[in-house]
Amino acid sequence: MNKICIFYFSGTGMTRYIVNKIKQEFENQHIYVDCIRIENIKMPNIHLTSYDSVGIAYPVHSFNAPQIVLDFVKHLPKIDSMDTFIIHTAGEEHYINYASSNLLIKRLNAKGFKVFYNKLFAMPSNFMVKYDDQKTKELINEADKKIPLTVHNLINQISHLPTSKASVKFLAFFGRSEWYGARILGKFFYVKDTCTHCGKCANNCPKHNINITKDKVKFNWGCCLCMRCIYNCPEQSIYIHQPFKFIRLDSWYDSNIFTNK
């Protein structure tokens, strides 16, 4: 294993944090790594033959991989064989969250990407449930400790593919309704008068779902609830209308926490 590519999607930066840590550890072992954001990829220009292994990384959304990740894999070219691993993050390292990879693995294997490793990292929750500072630091420190063993297992191709019970698979299937619910919820976003129309929300949106004019910010029907616009808003101006005000939407954590040193 000399050269690896990790395709990743990250909303608020936690998955990106793990990907960068894994990249650093690989490079400590003199293995070259490309890390590419999924939304930046133009499919006709993707070339995989120069890599020995490929990784897919994402945050768990309602017990599933985000739709943007599944759509990316759906459009990958078929290949003869490629060792592939999955890295995902969630608010809790619970076996239920491993079901998020079921459909993804099925699509990857059908394309010739042979998934041999599937690893979940617990990171601070950024939706509905806020963790206190102490738990946040503990989760990040624990994730850091697991990086060297994860990379060791990947280099040595040690298989790790947890299985899911039928009930968990059904829960994941039901959770895919979030793909459609997110589009509706996103239409209830709005900005307060503190908005400066700086454009960061539109520029950071992976779905190009936000339009900004001189006096208006418009949220369209393509939201995937990645929370990136909220976490990157310098004025914390993005809110949600009724009847969804009970859903707390703000940047709970200092983004510097998820900046690799």
- Omega into 243 within 30° of 0, i.e. cis? yes
Q: For residue range 45-84, what is the model confidence (pLDDT) as tens digits?
A: 577 888 999 999 999 988 889 999 999 998 888 888 899 9
pLDDT band at 254 (very low <50, low <70, confident <90, very high): low
Q: What is the distance between the alpha carbons of residues 88 and 14, in angstroms, rounded to a whole number? A: 10
Name the band, by pLDDT with cuts 50, 70 and 90, for residue 164.
confident
Which residues belong to CATH 3.40.50.360 in the chain?
3-174
Rounded CA-CA distance 82/88 in Å is 19
What is the structure's pLDDT at 64? 86
Judged by DSSP in three states, 38 sits in helix
Q: Residue 39 to residues 9, 43, 129, 145, 176: CA-CA distances in angstroms?
A: 7, 10, 27, 29, 20
- Outline which parts of the chain fall under CATH 3.30.70.20: 179-257
Range 179-257 classified under CATH 3.30.750.210 = no
pLDDT in tens, 209-228: 999 887 789 999 999 888 88
pTM score: 0.88
Domain 3-174 adopts which CATH fold? Rossmann fold (3.40.50)
Dump pLDDT digits (tens) for 106-131: 999 999 999 999 999 998 877 667 77
Is the confidence at residue 158, as pLDDT, over 90? yes
